[in-house]
């Protein structure tokens, strides 16, 4: 990264609003930790939306981990708060932040308003994590705000090429690039993960009441429409119907607004006793270590962190060919990609892994090695820093005071 006297190393604030924990929060925290490990002045600006409730706010704070050294935590119960806008802007100035990196449409909206009112003079970068909303007035307003923010932002990052190309409106003044998400490896070598799988499965079985002699299949994420969990339930129903019994432990890991509906659906399908709804899990390390396969059923994605996480634990994945999945998975070599909502193709990939533990192990090892070579956090951070440098040069009139 060029750090001449005209363009010093930037101080960065990763800025997001959240009421609960999800993929973008993992990205923001992961980037903060990685950039700080490289010696960069980097902060997390997190606005906790208290109207989500104490339980979901608690999930968020527990999952963020030990962030006291670099986090600025704000709280709001309003959809918009001018006092909050001033508080965030004041803290940005006090910390001499030159780059505000926004991770949601609300933080982008606030950042642009701060510049509009003269409260902040640095650059604004926005990461598109993927945003597809149902029809309706609120969705239309959110999309309009995001489009406006995208046109005003100095730089836009897509977490996948597909997300960037499908979401970036015309007449954007800033620079743009695609940077795929990354993950830290839990172990320096996949052998420890693979050799410890049986013991970890036993511990997971004891925790959730599973059969320790059967493989464990997980589907991980917020329980919302995007994740298309009815397809997962239908796969389970077909498997049990054809086999006459459950030969696999099926977990649905996460919480969300659709949990009660999904549990009712599983009951109507006659498989409620065969699916474990774990609810929110803060200790995902134990889940990934004890699982044998990640199945994903989403109708759209950015670059899902659960996909990278599973692969970093030497797990093969069966996932739809959407968003960043196609940038991460080499289908047939270290996982399986299938057409969106294609139950037959999903089950074919599932059975390939369930019928052959050697293929599971071989593809899991290759998945780990691909994360190690192509999706490490060091290169991820360096690419962001190089992009900040380009953006600052391109938008120099806006950042002279801040830098």
| CATH code (residue 266) | 3.40.50.2000
Domain assignment of residue 1, yes or no: no
Length of the chain: 403
Q: What is the pLDDT of residue 117?
A: 95
pLDDT tens string 64-112: 889 999 999 999 999 899 999 999 999 999 999 999 999 998 999 999 9
Element (H, E) at 16: strand 12-18
| Mean pLDDT, rounded, for 367-391 | 96
Residue 214 to residue 29: CA distance in whole angstroms: 35
Q: Which two tokens stand for residue 183?
A: 């993950």
- Is residue 29 within 8 Å of 44, Cβ to Cβ? yes
- Is residue 327 within 8 Å of 180, Cβ to Cβ? yes
Residue 208 to residue 251: CA distance in whole angstroms: 9
Residue 235 to residue 320: CA distance in whole angstroms: 14
- Is residue 85 within 8 Å of 113, Cβ to Cβ? yes
The domain of 256 spans 190-374
Residue 96 to residue 104: CA distance in whole angstroms: 22
Q: Residues 88, 206: one domain?
A: no
> Is 90 exceeded by the pLDDT of residue 46?
yes
pLDDT tens string 204-229: 999 999 999 999 999 999 999 999 99
Percent of the chain residues past pLDDT 90, beyond the cut: 78
> Is 80 exceeded by the pLDDT of residue 315?
yes
Domain assignment of residue 156, yes or no: yes
Domain assignment of residue 5, yes or no: no
Q: Residues 99, 122: one domain?
A: yes
Between 174 and 24, the more confident residue is: 24
Q: Residues 271, 386: one domain?
A: no
End-to-end CA distance of the chain: 16
Residue 159 to residue 131: CA distance in whole angstroms: 11
pLDDT tens string 52-72: 999 999 989 988 889 999 999
- Is residue 294 within 8 Å of 315, Cβ to Cβ? yes
Q: Residues 305, 213: one domain?
A: yes
Q: Residues 215, 301: one domain?
A: yes
Q: Residues 119, 145: one domain?
A: yes
Q: Residues 95, 164: one domain?
A: yes
Domain assignment of residue 3, yes or no: no
Least confident of 29-33, 41-45, 129-133, 172-176: 129-133
Please state, rounded to an integer, the average pLDDT across all residues of the chain: 91
CB atoms within 10 A of CB 53: 12
Q: How far is CA 20 from CA 141, 222, 288, in A?
A: 22, 10, 21
Residue 108 to residue 191: CA distance in whole angstroms: 43
pLDDT tens string 255-309: 989 999 999 999 999 999 999 999 999 889 999 999 999 999 999 998 999 999 9
Q: Which two tokens stand for residue 128?
A: 């598109």
Kindly tell me the number of DSSP H helices and DSSP E strands found in the chain: 17, 13
Q: Residues 247, 295: one domain?
A: yes
**Residues in Cβ contact with 135 at an 8 Å cutoff, skipping those fewer than 6 apart:** none
* Number of domains, the chain: 2
Q: Which residue matches tokens 């945003």?
A: 131
- Is residue 249 within 8 Å of 205, Cβ to Cβ? yes
Q: Which residue matches tokens 């399908």?
A: 269
Domain assignment of residue 4, yes or no: no
Q: Residues 321, 264: one domain?
A: yes
Q: Is 151 helix (H, G, I), strand (E, B) or coil?
A: helix
List 253's β-bridge partners, or say none.
220, 279
Query: Where does 227-342 show beta strands of DSSP type E?
Result: 249-253, 275-279, 293-295, 317-320, 336-338
Q: Residues 322, 232: one domain?
A: yes
Q: Residues 225, 358: one domain?
A: yes
Q: Which two tokens stand for residue 392?
A: 């600052």
Q: Which residue matches tokens 């190393």?
A: 9
Domain assignment of residue 335, yes or no: yes
Q: Residues 202, 349: one domain?
A: yes
Domain assignment of residue 268, yes or no: yes
Domain assignment of residue 267, yes or no: yes
């Amino acid at each position: 990264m060029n750090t001449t006297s005209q363009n010093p190393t930037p101080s960065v604030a990763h800025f997001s609003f959240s009421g609960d924990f999800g993929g973008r929060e993992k990205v923001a925290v992961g980037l903060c930790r990685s950039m700080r490990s490289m010696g960069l002045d980097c902060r997390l600006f997190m606005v906790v939306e208290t109207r989500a409730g104490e339980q979901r706010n608690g999930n968020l704070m527990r999952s963020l981990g030990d962030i006291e050294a670099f986090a600025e935590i704000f709280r709001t119960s309003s959809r918009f708060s001018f006092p909050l806008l001033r508080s965030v802007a004041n803290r940005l100035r006090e910390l001499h932040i030159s780059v505000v990196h926004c991770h949601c449409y609300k933080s982008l909206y606030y950042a642009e308003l701060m510049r509009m009112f003269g409260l902040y003079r640095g650059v604004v970068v926005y990461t598109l994590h993927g945003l597809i909303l149902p029809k309706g007035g609120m969705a239309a307003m959110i999309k309009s705000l995001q489009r406006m923010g995208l046109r005003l932002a100095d730089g836009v990052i897509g977490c996948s090429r597909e997300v960037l190309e499908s979401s970036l409106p015309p007449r954007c003044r800033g620079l743009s690039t695609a940077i795929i998400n990354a993950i830290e490896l839990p172990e320096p070598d996949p052998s420890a993960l693979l050799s410890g799988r049986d013991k970890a499965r036993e511990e997971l079985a004891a925790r959730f009441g599973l059969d320790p002699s059967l493989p464990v299949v997980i589907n991980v994420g917020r329980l919302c429409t995007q994740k298309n969990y009815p397809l997962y339930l239908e796969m389970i129903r077909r498997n049990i119907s054809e086999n006459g019994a459950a030969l696999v432990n099926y977990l649905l890991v996460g919480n969300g607004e659709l949990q009660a509906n999904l549990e009712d659906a599983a009951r109507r399908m006659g498989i409620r006793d065969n699916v474990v709804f774990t609810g929110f899990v803060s200790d995902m390390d134990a889940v990934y270590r004890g699982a044998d396969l990640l199945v994903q059923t989403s109708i759209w994605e950015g670059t899902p962190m659960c996909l990278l996480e599973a692969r970093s634990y030497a797990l093969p994945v069966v996932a739809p060919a959407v968003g960043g999945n196609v940038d991460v998975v080499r289908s047939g070599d270290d996982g399986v990609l299938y057409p969106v909502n294609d139950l037959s193709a999903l089950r074919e990939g599932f059975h390939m892994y369930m019928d052959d533990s050697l293929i599971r192990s071989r593809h899991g090892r290759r998945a780990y090695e691909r994360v190690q070579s192509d999706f490490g956090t060091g290169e991820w951070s360096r690419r962001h820093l190089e992009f900040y440098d380009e953006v600052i040069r391109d938008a120099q009139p806006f950042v002279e005071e801040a830098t």
